[in-house]
Structures are given as C-alpha cells and as structure tokens.
Chains A and B, each alone.
Chain A
Amino acid sequence: MNKIKPELGAFDYFLAAIGAVLATFSVGMAVGKPTIAAFLSSGVLITIGVGFMISRSVRKTDLANYDGYLWAGLAITCWMFVRDLNAVLPEEGFPFRLVAAAALCWMLILCSLVSWRDQTLLFLSLPCIALFGLVGTFDTYRPATGLFFIFLVASGVLYARVHQRGMLIRAGKAGNGDPTLLRRGPWKWMAGPEWAMASGFLVILLSLVGAPALQMTVKNVAGQIKISLPTPSNSQTSSVAGSTSSYFIGRGPNRATDAPVFKIKGDGFFYVLERSLSKYTGSSWGESEYFVGVNSELDKKYSTNEMLERGPNGGFAPWPNTVPPGEEIDNPRLVPFELEPVRALPLHVMRPGPIVELISPTKEATFYSDGSVGYLALPLNTNIKAVAAMARSYNIPIETEARVDPDLDPAYKDTGNISPAVAQLAADVTRPYRTDLQKAQAIKTEIERRVKYNLNAEKIPSGEDAVYHFLFKSKEGYCDLFASSMVMMARSVDLPARYVLGYIADGEKDKDGFVTVRERDYHAWAEIHFEGYGWVPFDPTEGAQAVPGGERGSTSSARGPIFSDENLRLIGTVFIVFALAFPITVYGLRAAAMFTKKDVRVKTELNRQHSRFVRMIEREVKSPKRFSSTLQEFTANYATQLGSTANEASLIAGDFDEMMFSPRIPEATNIRELSARITKFKEALSRRTPQEA
C-alpha cells in the first residue's frame, strides 16, 4: 500500500493490458484465426503502452479531464464503422456473425489510447468481459476459462489499486495524505493484500466448484437457444485451387486423450471416416489437386438447394440411390446413422461411408464429391442424421479387380515418392499371388508380420522416407505408418489405394444406443478400391503385434499427455489449494510463533480478560465505556447501578490498571486468578443488591 501513489502508474496499465490481451487473444483463437489473435493482442498491447505515455504527458493539463468524452466517442465510432474496421483485420476479419467481436476489439485498441485516468482505465474491463462472454458462448477455445480467471484476478488488483488511490486522495483532502503515516496509524489494521489474495483464490475455487453445481441444477432448462458455431478456420476450405494441407506421419509418441469428440449411433460399421488423402510426399499425406474444397464446381453443384431430390427417408439425396462420383460402388449397403457432436465438427462431417442421403439438418449443408457433408455453421446441440453407403467388403469374390476410374483421381495409383526398397518388398510378397485381392491380403499380412504396433514409437528422422524407415529400420510405429505402408505397397503393385483418417467406433453403447468416440479412437487405415465394391478397408494394425505398453488403448495413451484435461484440472486444483493454503499457513505459523513468546501470550490473555470484564459491566449498566475514561472511572461512574458489586468491580479495575500498565509482565498465574475473580464477579453481579445511598 505504501507504493500506491495518487496517480496512475505503469503497473496499472500493465494490469489493464493483461485483461485486454487475453480477451482479444481468446476471441481470435475461438474463431480459429491465430493471425487475428496475434494482431489484436499485440495491437492492444501497443496502444495501452502509448496510452500510458500520453497519460503522463497530459496528466497535469485540462485535456486529461476530457478522456471520458473521447473514450465514449471512440467507442461509438467503433460500432458505427465496425464493418470497415473488421475488413482491416487479417484473414478477412471475423465472420459476419461475430462482427460484434471486431467492434469490441477495436474499442479496446482505440479507447486504450485515451484511457488517461482511473475511471477510463477501469472501463476497459467491460469490453474484455463481453469478449470473454462471446468466447464462452461458442466454447470453441478451451483455455478461455483459465484465461478469464487470470483476467479476473488482474482486474481485481487494478480495481483495488484504484480504490486505494481514491482513499489516499480523500485522506489528503482530510489533511493526512502520507501513506507511511497512514499505514502506521489509522490504516494499520486495514484488510490488506493478503486478505485480497486469499479472497481472489477463494472466488476461483468457488467458481470451479459452483459452476458445475449450477450447471447441474439448471440442466433441465438449459440449452434452449441454439447457437450457430462460427466456422473454424481450415486451410482446406481455401478457394485457391490446388491448395492442400499436410497430415504428417511418424511424428513420435501419440498423446491422444480420452476426451470425447462425438457420439454415433448406427449398426454395422466399425470405421468412421473423416477424410481421405491420396498424395504422399514421403513424410505426409495431402489432398490431391482433384479435391480442392468447397469452391470446386462439383461441390457447388451438390450444395443443398431446391433442385435436389428427396431420398426414401425424406432427406436430400444429391446422388439418388447411388454414391458420389468418386465413391461409386454397386449394391451398396445403406446404413442410417446419427451423429451427435460433442465438440465443434471439422468441415467434413464424420461418416461410416459416403453419404447418399442427408435427413437433418439440411440448412446450409454442402455435399462434397468425396461423399462427405459439411456445414458452414452448425447449430449447437444438433444431431446429424443421414444415410451412408458402405461397401460389402466381406463378400468380395476373389477374382474381383482392384480398379478405379483413373479420370477421377490419378493420385490413387501414384507411386512417385515410394522408396525402391518398399516397392521391391511389395513385389516380393505379392509375386506368388494372382488376383488383386490376394495381393492386398498378402501385403497386409507382411506388414503385420514385419513390424510392431507401438504408440510410443520414436519420431521418424526428418529427411527420411517415413514408410521406408518404418518397414526397414525402426519396425515400430502406429496406425499412420501402418496405413501409409499399406497404401504405398499396394500402389506399387498397381492397386488403387488411399490413406484414410477417421475414428474407430468400437466403444460400448449407452442407453440411447450411442457410442462415444474419443480422441484416442482417432485412427488411420488404408482403403483399396475394388470395382463394384468401392473402397474396402485394409488395416494392418489388426494382426500386428504390439509392443508392451504401446498398444492401442494402453494406459500410456489413455492417460494422455501431461496437459490433458484431467491433468490440467488436477494441477489447477492443487495450485489453487496450495496458493490458498500457503498464505494461510504462513500467517498461522507467524501468529503461532508470535504466540509462543511469553509476553505476547500473556498480554493477549490479559486483553481478552479486560474485554470480557468491560463488556460484562456494559451489559449490566446498558451503557458503553467511553474511550476517554479509564476502567476505574467507568466503574465509579456506575457504582450505583453495580450495587453491592461496585467495590469488587473497582478492585478488579485497579488490578487491571496495575497489570496492564506496569513495566513488569504479569505471570500467567496472576491472570488465571484474575479470570477466576471475574467469573465470581459475574455471579455476584446477577445476585447483586442496590447499593445503599
């Protein structure tokens, strides 16, 4: 408190900056645009610094008194020109639905320049709260809650400093503005920073406990409003032709958690496909130029509109009774399914197979030529119901050829980056076999025999071909390397194959028939196209041996990384309890240490008995003891009311005066005797008779 001065200081601006930076960063990350997050947070940091310097310049001038008007004017300007300001932001700014976030962020940036006094600096916290509210509403950025609590603590400290400053100024007007003298005198027993810190952590603890309780309480009435999620930024949705994103393989130990991703209901499927990739680079997989994304002509053609036909289940059927051009199969098995998102979905919705009929929701859905469906903005708590077509892969005749229309995607047979050793291995293992199906099975068997499954496998050294390193050097890896090996070996013997990412839905069904699919169920496998049967999964991880401790679903993977949700909650709780307990413990130990000193102990007990005696008499005479009167004077003034006990009261008062004000520290036995006398006095007080005049 000593260091708090009557004027705003750099530390106050620092506290305001914490909140503003965290809020703008969170909202940028929530819409999946890290560039915007970085731009806004660095912008607000700079302008707060500039605002601080301006405040120091104008502090002693009249201009400082107009900061409120400037603040209000700039805030109104931000809202009036929000679209233009949003356009200034990188990556085309916020989506239109979230343009309010742009206004709030620009408010923070511009109004920071004119926050020259306490009041205007405090008002910066309000747009921060609004931004955090937006982030919390959409719940697309997990760390936002933690960042909000940091903002709350920083803002609390700022508010406390502003309040202290106000008190200092008032004390100055009252004639004593010296913080040192105040702290030694009338402010000595003020609830200080340790109290504030403990309160702050208590608030956080209450929130961590209270919020889930509150949520449980209102569970039956919650969720009445459907909020359309902002489209997460995804480079695959870029309109630039040929743009791809890469999925790297062999990146080292897998740390997927148990966090649920979605729930799915339906029968007869094991693999739930998210996306398929066909272009291998040696260390990663990507989309080929054929599947560009949302702006391809083929995709646009099949977006939901009135021209689409209705399927037998009443939904939209872009490819009535058939599968999409890239997924053509004969006599597919039609599998109805229902998907319940737990998190924001990726652009291409997960499916057991290419979607041939979309039942709900159909608004603003886009059908892609790979058989997937995507939504620009999916309402929260909305399940997706559709019908997928699945290949009947268990009844493929042995003579069936593995063939795909080369016009669709030449990359399915692209062996451009295959290592010669891998191609040779494929040729060797398939030499005894005649049919494509036998060759595919032979490759799968060879991979299962040759390598082991290990979730903790080391990262593939950079510069090396991942498949080669996996098959010939490390011989350990997990699904991505298994699938990549299967695809490349199959292609090298002229089998059209693709790399597929998705999930394994093999969990237990709940009472509604849904299976919860988690992060650790994320999987990669290979698919080979058989004419008339479509893309048939070939998953060499099925028969591969697993390294102990590195199996799929093993504790090392199920436990998740150190910063998994569960661990973070545990760490957070421990931190908060420790942070709360630490000052209390230190305070308690110090108090105990003080208390062990004899004189402190004795004086404390003496004071306690003194208070007890005074309050006893005050209750009887129904009048308080004046601060200016001594205890003897007090008992003498009310001698009449004390009646027959007046004399004893006077003697006890005299003993107190002697013990409290003599240079000799009284013994504990003396105080015990005095306490006993007070107890007897109390009994006598209740039986007293009026004193004779």
Chain B
Amino acid sequence: MKRYAAIALTTAALFLVVMAILVASPPLFYMATGIMATLVGSRLQAWLSIRYLRFERHAPPAVKIGEPVTVQITVMSERKLKRPLVTVVDGLPGKLRIRSTTPSLPVAPSYDQPIRTQYTFTPMRRGRFSWKELTVYGTDALGLSTLNKSYDIDPVELSVYPAPIPVSISISPTGGWGLSELESGKRKGTGLEPRGIREYVTGDPIRTIHWKSTAKTGNLMVKEFETGSGVSLKMMLQRTQGTDLGDSSTTTFEAMCGHALYLADEFLDKGASITFPQMEAYDAMTDHPDVRARDIRDVLTDIQPDAIDSLSDDLTSAANWIRQGDTILMFLSTRDDALPATMLQTSGAQFVCLIYDPAPYFSSSKGPASPASNPEYIGILESAGAQVIPMPFVENLI
C-alpha cells in the first residue's frame, strides 16, 4: 500500500508540474517543486543507503534436511555517512527448496563498527549448494523509495544431508552370506571375538585400544572385531534421468536416499560392510563404521537422479566389484527391462529389489506409464532370482 502511495505521490507531483506550466500559477510551481524535491531527496537517500557497503557471511557448513539454518551477515559501511535502515536478502539458490525463511533484521551500517544481522531458513532438499549473491534493500526515511543492489561476496557452501527415514525390511536368509547373523541382531562388541590388532584410526572407540600392543609398538593400536559374519551389502539406486518421480518435494528418489541412509546405518551398526558401487571406488572404503557412516551420508548427499546410464548399466559397470555372497539392494521406481537379464548374468550375488510405487507421489491421479511396481515386472524380477520388497510411501522427508 505504501508503494501505491509513493506512486500516487509521484503522479501527483508530475501532474502539478504540468498544470503549473500550463496555467502559469506561481503557487503550483512552489507546490510541485516541493513534492518533486521530496521525491528526489527520497530517491537519493535510498540510492546512497545501498552503496559503499561491505559484507561478510557466515553459515554452518552442513545441516540435515528440515533443520533450520541460521546465516549471519555482517555489514560495514565503506563511507562515513549516516544511512537509513537497510535489509539484506541472501541469494539462496532456488533448487534449495526452502520451507520457511525469517526476515533479516533491518540494520543501519556503520563506518566504524561491523553490524550483524541474521536470518534463518529451513532447507528441504538434500545436496550441496553454493551461493554468493546478496541483495541489499534500502528505503529512504519516509519509506517512499526502495532500491536494491546486489553484491557478490565470498560464496557460502552448504551441504544438506538427507535425513534417515525409518523403514523395516525383511531380507530372506538366503539372500546372502551372513545375513542370518545380521538379522539376529548381533552387533560388534556384543560377545564377538576380536579377529586382530590394527593401528588406531580416527573414530575408533577408546575402549578398543589394545594397551599392550600400544606400549610395545609405541603407536596406538586397537582390537578389530568380527563384523558379524562379514556381510557385504551393496546398495544401488536407480538414478537415471527421468526416474525421479513425484510432483511435490517428496519424490521416489528422495525417499530412496532416506531409506538407504537408514538401512545403511542399521546394517553398519550390526557389522555389515556397505558400499555404493555407483559412487565409490572399492578401495576407498575405510573400516571404521563411524567414518563409513559419514562417507555414506556424503554419498547419499551427492547422488543425483541425472545419470544417462540405466540401473542395469550401472550394475554391469560394477560387476567387477561384486563378490561371491554379496547382497545387492536395488532401489528402483521405474521399469528397467534389461535389469533381470543383467541380474542373471551377475553370478554369486543375491539381489533384493526395493520397489517404489510412484503413484502416491503424484498429486494427480495420472502416474507414470511404466512403474516398477507393475505386477508383471515384479514377476519377471522374481523369476530372475531377486527378492522383491515393496517400499512404503514416504510423505515427509524428515
């Protein structure tokens, strides 16, 4: 409404100027000049208020989806002049999918002292984001003119991790070596025998330190336990372009990432070794579960549904890393006709297909043409020897 008042004032001033000239009335000249001077002065003050500023921005490096992020912005004036209040709006990337943002505190930048303002937003999309633009809005003291200027400052990098989405799946005991022990809930440190001594790596619990070896060698040594029965789980997500289905913030691929993270944490806790052949090199794994969990979280943050290769192509590429007795969890939502044959060609491994029905992820009744949840396709997968588990619909990613 104030903007309309400003527009009306400007129009009135122009009209008065025109009438003053046409009618040659001295009072109209005074009135028109007065209003024009006020408007010009307002514009000048707004213009000056956003100039010659310096900014610094601080944001946390990483958060989980749905966690509020507080960004602090420090502003200082490079000229010694009094300014009206300015407000700062960060140039957040659009694909960040923000749920709510608080306004930043209006501040009056000072020449001698940095002034701090901050705002909070809640990201609802995982990934790694970076932005550097920042827009400052300055309004004159009367609130008639608002101008803005963009500043490019040191970029901020924010990693938004997926949140683990609890899910319970029952994998068949014949699905891979050691799964029965995994399912029995045995965890490391619960009566398992140590299998050896190795050097300490960051994250190892203090209680596992082998003091004798440490004293002997002079280096910190820890006991290494059997991780269950040496279960090796490989997780592969269908990340082909066009397979991320859904028309809201929750899509099939996001649900896969959340479930994958949860399952990975659960299995890691029970002593399994988890890998993502699509995103990791085989020898990049570390042994320690806490570090591994962080690596998995990073993998699931970076993975995007923008690949050209299909899931069956990924499986073929990863064939060299698949060993006898490996259990491969396949997360898919769209029918991949080459997948059953590829599975059959991959010998020694057991496949568990986690199927995501895309229909609930669409607000309209029309769903995709070839979902993986098609009963016929499920039959084909089962015929290829895979265990098929339908996954529940995820309404919220947090």
Contacts and interface: CB of A to CB of B under 8 A. Distances in A.
B108 A187 contact: yes
A259 to B, nearest CB: 13
B27 A136 contact: yes
B87 interface: yes
Contact of A162 (B28, B33, B143): B143
Given A152-B34, A207-B33, A627 B74 contact: yes
A223 B26 CA distance: 11
B106 interface: yes
Interface stretch (B35-43, B186-194, B199-207, B325-333): B35-43
Given A148-B34, A191-B141, A211 B76 contact: no
Contacts of A163: 2, 139, 141-143
Interface string B172-205: 0000000000000000000000000000000000
Interface stretch (A14-22, A53-61, A118-126, A230-238): A118-126
Give the dominant DSSP class at A's interface.
Answer: helix
B109 interface: yes
Interface in A40-79: 68
Q: Looking at chain B's contact residues, is the secondary structure mostly helix, strand, loop, or mixed?
A: mixed
B15 interface: yes
A326 to B, nearest CB: 38
B26 A139 contact: yes
B104 interface: yes
B99 interface: no
A481 interface: no
Contacts, number: 193
Contacts of A192: 82
A212 B33 CA distance: 10
A416 to B, nearest CB: 46
Contact of B5 (A122, A160, A223): A122
A152 B104 CA distance: 32
Could you say which of B20, B27, B54, B104 has the most chain A C-beta atoms within 10 Å of its C-beta?
B27
A637 to B, nearest CB: 14
A137 B34 contact: no
Interface stretch (A171-179, A239-247, A662-670): A171-179
Interface string A373-411: 000000011000000000000000000000000000000
A423 to B, nearest CB: 51
Nearest to A209: B33
Contact of A149 (B1, B34, B45, B85): B34
Contact of B103 (A159, A170, A225): A170
B37 A170 contact: no
A213 B382 CA distance: 92
B56 A174 contact: no
Given A133-B12, A136-B31, A163-B142, A122 B83 contact: no
Interface in A600-630: 607, 624, 626-628
Q: Which of B84, B103, B141 is most buried by chain A, counting CB atoms within 10 A of its CB? A: B141
A356 interface: no
B377 interface: no
A137 B141 CA distance: 30
Nearest to B25: A139
A307 interface: no
Contact of A160 (B22, B41, B109, B141): B141
A174 B22 contact: no
Nearest to B84: A191
Contacts of B105: 170-171, 174-176, 186
A211 B33 contact: yes
Contacts of A171: 105-106
B119 interface: yes
B107 A186 contact: yes
Contacts of B103: 170, 173-174
Contact of A191 (B28, B32, B82): B82
A156 B26 contact: no
A339 to B, nearest CB: 19
A163 B32 CA distance: 23
Contact of B33 (A132, A185, A195, A214): A214
B12 A137 contact: no
A452 B197 CA distance: 133
Nearest to A625: B54
B1 A119 contact: yes
B98 interface: no
Contact of A381 (B1, B24, B142): B24
B129 interface: no
A218 interface: yes
Given A163-B141, A628-B56, A126 B23 contact: no
B38 A156 contact: yes
B117 A215 contact: no
B30 interface: yes
B21 A222 contact: yes
A129 interface: yes
A133 B19 contact: yes
A204 interface: yes
A189 interface: yes
Contacts of A129: 9, 12, 16, 35
B280 to A, nearest CB: 36
A144 interface: yes
B27 A222 contact: no
Contacts of B2: 118-119, 122, 162-163, 166
Interface string A126-143: 100110110111110000
A595 to B, nearest CB: 15
Given A203-B34, A207-B34, A130 B54 contact: no
Contacts of B23: 137, 222-223, 225, 227, 380
Contact of A187 (B74, B107, B114): B107
A196 B12 contact: no
Interface string B89-121: 000000000000011111111111111111100
B41 A203 contact: yes
B8 interface: yes
Contacts of B118: 174
Contact of A195 (B9, B19, B104, B141): B141
A162 B87 CA distance: 17
B21 to A, nearest CB: 5
Most buried by A among B56, B83, B104, B105: B105
B131 interface: no
Contacts of A593: none
Given A148-B34, A173-B103, A174-B119, A190 B85 contact: yes
Contacts of A199: 41, 45, 141
B354 interface: no
A190 B142 contact: no
A378 B373 CA distance: 90
Contacts of B30: 136, 145, 148-149, 207-208, 211
Contacts of A607: 112
Contacts of A130: 12
Nearest to B48: A191
B386 interface: no
Given A160-B141, A189-B83, A191-B84, A221 B26 contact: no
Given A136-B25, A162-B143, A186-B107, 4 more contacts: A122-B5, A152-B34, A189-B111, A624-B54
Nearest 8 A-B pairs (CB), nearest first?
A163-B143, A119-B1, A223-B24, A190-B108, A136-B27, A222-B24, A191-B82, A136-B28
26 contacts: A119-B1, A125-B9, A132-B31, A136-B20, A137-B19, A137-B23, A159-B142, A162-B2, A163-B139, A173-B102, A174-B117, A174-B118, A174-B119, A185-B115, A186-B117, A187-B107, A189-B110, A191-B82, A191-B141, A199-B141, A204-B34, A208-B30, A211-B30, A222-B22, A223-B22, A380-B23
